[in-house]
Amino acid sequence: MKFDENSDKMLKQLQKGVFITTKKNNKVNTMTIAWGGINFVWGKPVFIAYVRYSRDTYQMLEHSDEFTINVPLNKKLNKALGFCGSKSGRDYDKIEECNLNLLESRVVKPPILSDCEMHYECKVIYKQAMEPGNILESVKDRYYPSNDYHVIYYGEIVDSYIIKGEK
């Protein structure tokens, strides 16, 4: 699949949540994200993902600079999305807790979740810490009351595809 094929379906699901999956050494972690999207930067297709400093995923991304985005299209993974968006990989093995299934990626080291149908494999080409002074006060009040800001990761999409999705 081309990186921008079915982007309407991905963006629709992103509003409800998709999984970002990382790997550091032998540890695999997945987290729900609902902020991000697909862009075209420096002549490259890019998935942009927002990850808070407080998340285990942040530490893992800083170590590996690779991630996968896993998008459930037809399967209802609401329970897993809720769990993976509210629990930390430091405290839980979210893959095991949610009975998610891993499948080796085709290009990057972090695996994909075979429970999802749409996948983007990404290599970080740029990252930017949010500058609190540039955020509207109303946005800070609503989304950052504890000053837990995001780092914005630009991941070059090095592969994208749809699989049937297995459980």
Task: Identify the pLDDT of residue 74.
Answer: 84
Question: Is the sign of the CA dihedral 129, 66, 94, 114 positive or negative?
Answer: positive
In this structure, is residue 148 part of a structural domain? yes
37: which residues sit within 8 A by CB, 6+ positions away?
A: 11, 14, 47, 48
In this structure, is residue 63 part of a structural domain? yes
In this structure, is residue 50 part of a structural domain? yes
In this structure, is residue 68 part of a structural domain? yes
112: which residues sit within 8 A by CB, 6+ positions away?
A: 21, 68, 70, 102, 103, 104, 105, 119, 121, 163
Range of the domain at 81: 7-162
CATH number where 26 lies: 2.30.110.10
In this structure, is residue 111 part of a structural domain? yes
Does residue 76 surpass a pLDDT of 90?
no
Task: Identify the pLDDT of residue 1.
Answer: 79
Where does the pLDDT of residue 165 fall: very low under 50, low under 70, confident under 90, or very high at 90 and above? Answer: low
Range 68-91 average pLDDT: 92
The maximal CA–CA distance of the chain, rounded, in angstroms, is 45
Does residue 166 surpass a pLDDT of 80?
no
- Residue 50 to residues 23, 26, 54, 99, 120, Cα–Cα distance (Å): 17, 24, 12, 25, 15
In this structure, is residue 1 part of a structural domain? no
Indicate the number of domains in the chain.
Answer: 1
